[in-house]
C-alpha cells in the first residue's frame, strides 16, 4: 500500500504548529512551529484593558511557513502523498468580514485597526456585553445559555461581536458577518469564504455561539435585536447548519496547493477548537477527563447520550452533540489561566533583571544580555526545585487562581486572583508553591462540579506543555485531585488530533475512533497521588474555597 500522509495544524495563543503524520502507522514524520510575528511584537494588544487581537496575516504567513518547513524536513515523496489537512484553533476567536468573507483587517482601510482583527479568546473587553446577554437570557422565553453551562462569557463570540460593533462605527458600517478562526482557515484554502458558503464548526457554534438544533440554530432575531438593534440582520447572514469535524469542507484550490507545496487532492476538514481536537489526539474515551494544560486549561469529556439525557450541567462551557467525537456529547470546562499564572510570577521576579541589570555598565552589553536571558530562563525551574522541598503542611500561603478571571465552574471575567497568608518570611519559592497549588485547586473545583452534576470521571489524561514538562505541577495536581493522571506520549496532541480528523475526511478511516486506535501513541507516564498529601490538601482546599468566596464578594 502506498504511503498516505496527513497534516494537522494547531493554532495556539502565541504560535502555530504543523505536524505531518503517516496516516497508517501514526508515526510523526516532521513538525514545525512558528510564533505570530505581529503578536510577538506586541501589536494590537493592550493588556491593561484585557485587549488581545491578532492580525489575519499572522495566521496566513505562519501557515505557509510551517507547512513548507515541515515538508522540507520530510522525505521527497511526502508532499505528493499528503491527502488531508485539518485545523484546530483557540476559541472563541472571531473576526468581522465583508460580503466576500474577507476579514476586514485584510482591507487597506482597516489594516491597522484592532477592531477589524481576530479577537483572541482571552480578550475580556466584552465583560459588560456578556453580563447583558446573561441578564436577557434569564428573562427570555428560551434561556439560550442553558446548554452552555447557564452563564455566557466575555470570551465568547456574541459578547465580543457586540462590543466591537458598539465601539467602532467604521467596522460596524463595513461588517457583513462574522466568522470564527477555526472556520476561516478551511474556508480560506478551499475558496469557500463567502458567509453563505462557509462550512461552520459544530464545536465552535455549539460551545460559544448558543447554537442548538432544537431551537432552529442560533438565537432568534427577536432575541438578538432585543439585546441590541445593532445586531439586526446578523442571524440571517450567518448560518443554520453546523458540521462535525469528520466532514470534508472541500479540497485545496490550485492557488493554495501551489502556495503550500501540495496537490489539489488534499481534502480539508471542518475545523474545531484546539482542546477538543487535543482530547482526540490524547485518545479520550467516555468518562475520561482530558486536560489540555498550557497557558490556560481546557478540560474535555465525551459522554454517551444515555448518560446525559436531558440533564443540563451547570457552570461549564457547554454540552454539545458531536463537538469532540461524533456520536457523543462533548463537555467542556477549563481555567482561564494556568501556566499564565506562573508566567506572571516569573515577570514579577524578573523585574529587577530586566529593568536594573539591563542598565548596568559593569559588564559589556553582550554579557549583560546573556546574563539576563540565562537568569530569566532559570527562574521557573529554580522556583520549582525549591518549592518541591516545602512540606505540604507548611503551605500557609493561600492563593486563588483567578488572575485572568474564571472560566469554570460558573464563568466570570470580573473576578480577580488573590494571595493571603503572607509573612515577612514568605519567600519566592513559597509564593510560587501557593500559586501552583491554586491552579490545582481550581482544577479540583472543576472535577467536583462534574461529580456534583452526576458526570462520572474514571480517569484523567494530561495533555500539553505543562503536563509534559513540569513534574512538580503534575504531582501537585495528582495529590490535590487524589486521582492518577496519565500523560499522553504525543508531543503535539492538538495538532495530532487534527491529523486524526484529517485522516477521516480523506477517507482513510471511516470514523474518528478508528483513527485513534490506529494512530494513537499511548501514554508516557502516570502521576499517582500521595495519600498523605491528598489528605492534607483537603483542608487547604477548604481554605482556598473560603478565600475565593471572600475575594468574589469583595469586588
Q: Which residues pair with 6 in a beta bridge?
A: 21, 84
Residue indicated by cell numbers 462574522: 178
Residue 225 in grid coordinates: 435585536
The answer to whether residue 321 is domain-embedded is no
Tell whether 50 and 70 lie within a shared domain: yes
Cα-flanking dihedrals φ and ψ of residue 47, to 5°? -55, -30
In a domain, 328, yes or no: no
* 413 within 8 A of 124, measured Cβ to Cβ: yes
Under 8 Å between Cβ of 503 and 519: yes
**What is d(CA 147, CA 407) in angstroms, rounded to the nearest whole number?**
15
CATH number at residue 474: 3.30.420.40
Of 133, 183, 182, residue with least CA distance to 158:
133
Q: Is residue 333 part of a domain?
A: no
CB atoms within 10 A of CB 240: 12
Q: Which residues of 472-487 are buried (b: 16+ CB within 10 A; e: fewer)?
A: bbbbbbbbbbbbebbb
Sign for the CA dihedral angle at 242, 336, 93, 181 comes to negative
Angle 150-152-157 from CA coordinates, rounded to 5°: 140
Q: How far apart are CA 30 and CA 466, in angstroms?
A: 22
Q: Are residues 217 and 362 in the same domain?
A: no
The pLDDT tens digits for 31-76 are 999 999 999 999 999 988 999 999 999 999 999 999 999 999 998 8
**Which run of H or E residues covers position 164?**
helix 157-167
Residues 170 and 250 in one domain: yes
Give the H/E segment covering residue 388: none
Q: Rounded to whole angstroms, how far apart are CA atoms 446 and 66?
A: 35
Q: Look at residue 297 and tell me if it is in a domain.
A: no
Task: Report the pLDDT value the prediction gives residue 294, as an integer from 0 to 100.
Answer: 86
Retrieve residue 207's grid coordinates: 460551545
CA pair distance 8, 87, nearest whole angstrom: 6
If asked whether residues 252 and 362 sit together in one domain, one would say no
Question: What 3-state class would DSSP assign to 36?
Answer: coil
Q: Residue 75: its pLDDT value, please? A: 85
Q: What one-character-per-residue DSSP string does 42-89 give?
A: TTT-BGGGTB-EE-HHHHHHHHHHHHHHHHHHS-TTSGGGEEEEEEEE
Query: Which residues does residue 33 pair with via DSSP β-bridges, in sequence order?
Result: 17
Task: Tell me the CA end-to-end span of the chain in Å, nearest whole number.
Answer: 64
Answer yes or no: are the C-beta atoms of 249 and 186 closer than 8 Å: yes
Are 360 and 450 found together in one domain? yes
Q: Which single residue is written with the C-alpha cell 465568547?
A: 156
- Report whether the peptide linkage leading into residue 92 is cis, meaning its omega lies within 30 degrees of zero: yes
**Predicted pLDDT at 1:** 54
The parent domain of residue 57 ranges over 5-282+491-521
Core vs surface per residue 341-372: b (16+ CB within 10 A) or e: bbeebbeebbeebeeebeeeeeeeeeebeeeb
Same domain, 504 and 543: no
Regarding whether 98 and 230 lie in a shared domain, the answer is yes
Task: Report yes or no: 36 and 54 within 8 Å, Cβ to Cβ.
Answer: yes
* Pair 436, 501 in one domain: no
Residue ranges in the chain modelled with pLDDT below 70: 1
Question: Does 501 lie in the same domain as 445?
Answer: no
Grid cell listed for 163: 462590543
Domains identified in the chain, total number? 2
Residue 196 maps to a domain: yes
C-alpha–C-alpha distance, residues 499 and 9, integer Å: 8
Does residue 507 share a domain with residue 362?
no
317 within some domain: no
Which runs of E-coded beta strand occur in 441-550? 459-463, 485-488, 523-527
Co-location of 439 and 501 in the same domain: no
Residue 418 lies in a domain: yes
Backbone torsions φ then ψ of 202, nearest 5 degrees: -60, -40
User: Does residue 303 belong to any structural domain of this protein?
Assistant: no
- Three-class SS of residue 517? helix
Pairing mode, strands 82-89 and 272-273: parallel
Q: Let me know whether 428 and 507 are in one domain.
A: no
Amino acid at each position: 500500500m502506498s504511503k498516505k500522509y496527513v497534516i494537522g495544524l494547531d493554532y495556539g495563543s502565541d504560535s502555530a504548529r504543523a505536524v505531518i503524520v503517516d496516516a497508517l502507522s501514526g508515526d510523526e514524520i516532521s513538525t514545525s512551529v512558528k510564533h505570530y510575528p505581529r503578536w510577538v511584537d506586541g501589536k494590537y494588544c493592550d493588556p491593561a484593558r484585557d485587549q488581545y487581537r491578532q492580525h489575519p496575516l499572522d495566521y496566513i504567513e505562519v501557515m505557509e511557513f510551517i507547512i513548507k518547513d515541515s515538508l522540507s524536513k520530510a522525505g521527497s515523496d511526502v508532499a505528493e502523498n499528503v491527502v488531508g489537512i485539518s485545523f484546530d484553533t483557540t476559541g472563541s476567536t472571531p473576526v468581522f468580514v465583508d460580503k466576500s468573507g474577507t476579514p476586514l483587517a485584510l482591507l487597506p482601510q482597516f489594516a491597522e485597526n484592532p477592531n477589524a482583527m481576530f479577537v483572541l479568546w482571552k480578550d475580556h473587553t466584552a465583560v459588560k456585553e456578556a453580563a447583558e446577554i446573561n441578564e436577557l437570557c434569564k428573562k427570555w422565553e428560551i434561556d439560550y445559555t442553558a446548554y452552555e453551562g447557564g452563564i455566557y462569557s466575555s470570551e465568547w463570540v456574541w459578547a465580543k461581536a457586540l462590543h466591537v460593533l458598539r465601539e467602532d462605527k467604521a467596522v460596524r458600517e463595513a461588517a457583513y458577518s462574522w466568522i470564527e478562526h477555526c472556520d476561516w482557515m478551511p474556508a480560506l484554502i478551499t475558496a469557500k469564504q463567502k458567509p453563505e458558503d462557509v462550512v461552520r464548526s459544530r464545536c465552535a457554534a455549539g460551545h460559544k455561539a448558543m447554537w442548538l438544533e432544537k431551537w432552529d440554530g442560533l438565537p432568534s432575531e427577536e432575541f438578538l435585536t432585543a439585546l441590541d438593534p445593532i445586531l439586526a440582520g446578523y442571524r440571517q447572514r450567518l448560518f443554520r447548519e453546523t458540521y462535525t469535524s469528520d466532514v470534508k469542507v472541500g479540497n485545496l484550490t490550485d492557488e493554495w496547493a501551489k502556495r503550500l507545496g501540495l496537490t489539489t487532492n488534499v481534502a480539508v476538514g471542518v475545523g474545531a477548537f484546539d482542546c477538543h481536537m487535543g482530547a482526540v489526539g490524547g485518545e479520550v474515551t467516555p468518562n475520561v477527563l482530558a486536560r489540555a494544560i498550557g497557558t490556560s486549561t481546557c478540560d474535555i469529556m465525551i459522554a454517551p447520550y444515555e448518560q446525559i439525557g436531558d440533564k443540563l450541567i451547570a457552570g461549564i462551557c457547554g454540552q454539545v452533540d458531536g463537538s469532540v467525537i461524533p456520536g457523543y456529547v462533548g463537555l467542556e470546562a477549563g481555567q482561564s489561566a494556568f501556566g499564565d499564572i506562573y508566567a506572571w510570577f516569573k515577570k514579577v521576579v524578573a523585574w529587577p533583571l530586566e529593568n536594573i541589570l539591563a542598565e548596568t555598565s559593569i559588564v559589556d552589553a553582550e554579557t549583560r544580555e546573556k546574563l539576563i536571558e540565562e537568569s530569566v530562563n532559570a527562574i521557573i525551574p529554580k522556583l520549582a526545585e525549591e518549592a518541591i522541598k516545602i512540606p505540604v503542611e507548611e503551605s500557609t500561603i493561600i492563593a486563588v487562581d483567578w488572575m485572568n478571571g474564571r472560566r469554570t465552574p460558573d464563568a466570570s471575567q470580573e473576578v480577580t486572583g488573590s494571595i493571603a497568608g503572607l509573612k515577612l518570611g514568605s519567600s519566592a519559592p513559597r509564593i510560587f508553591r501557593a500559586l501552583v497549588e491554586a491552579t490545582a485547586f481550581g482544577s479540583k473545583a472543576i472535577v467536583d462540579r462534574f461529580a456534583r452534576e452526576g458526570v462520572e470521571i474514571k480517569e484523567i489524561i494530561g495533555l500539553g506543555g505543562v503536563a509534559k514538562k513540569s513534574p512538580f505541577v503534575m504531582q501537585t495536581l495528582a495529590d490535590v485531585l487524589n486521582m492518577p493522571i496519565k500523560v499522553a506520549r504525543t508531543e503535539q496532541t492538538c495538532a495530532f488530533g487534527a491529523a486524526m480528523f484529517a485522516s477521516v475526511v480523506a477517507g482513510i478511516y471511516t470514523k474518528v475512533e478508528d483513527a485513534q486506535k490506529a494512530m494513537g501513541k499511548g501514554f508516557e507516564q502516570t502521576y499517582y497521588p500521595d495519600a498523605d498529601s491528598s489528605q492534607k490538601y483537603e483542608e487547604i482546599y477548604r481554605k482556598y474555597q473560603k478565600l475565593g468566596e471572600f475575594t468574589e464578594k469583595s469586588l
